[in-house]
Amino acid sequence: MASTPVRTFDEGILIDQPWGKLTWLASREMGNSTTMTFGHVIIPADQTNPRHRHPNCDEILHLLKGRLEHSLGAEKYVLNAGDTISIPAGQWHNARALDGVDAEMVICFSSADRETEFE
């Protein structure tokens, strides 16, 4: 475990992708959780992240700002700021920022060692 339970945003691990930015703030790799992964995501206006799944953990996504169209299996859901979606382990999913504005969210996984597979 890290020597302090507090992690500032600047201490996160930034992953810059063509479709947006992920900042990991808690995980086993970061040394501040042995049971969960937590992060912050921005998907720029009208961008879509690739369809993927997490075979070893559930995901909870909470939308802070913007709107998203989120696919989950064969279904699609529109999320507004303040909405939360639960994604069961192994379910294919992805998100697209709507309305020409960035979508900002936090995501949490039920494993400190989140696995991701892409379609």
The predicted model gives 10-37 an average pLDDT of: 96
Q: Which CATH superfamily is domain 25-97+106-114 in?
A: Jelly Rolls (2.60.120.10)
* 49-102 pLDDT tens trace: 999 999 999 999 999 999 999 999 999 999 999 999 999 999 999 999 999 999
List beta partners, residue 16: 21
Whole-angstrom distance, CA of residue 27 vs CA of residue 13: 10
Range in 2-16, 24-38, 54-68, 72-86 the model is least confident about:
2-16
* CA-to-CA dists, residue 74 to 33, 51, 87, 115, angstroms: 33, 12, 13, 21
Distance CA(101)–CA(112), nearest Å, equals 31
**What is residue 96's three-state secondary structure?**
strand
Task: Sketch the domain layout of the chain as residue ranges.
Answer: 25-97+106-114
pTM listed for this prediction: 0.94
pLDDT band at 5 (very low <50, low <70, confident <90, very high): confident
pLDDT at 3 (0 to 100): 65
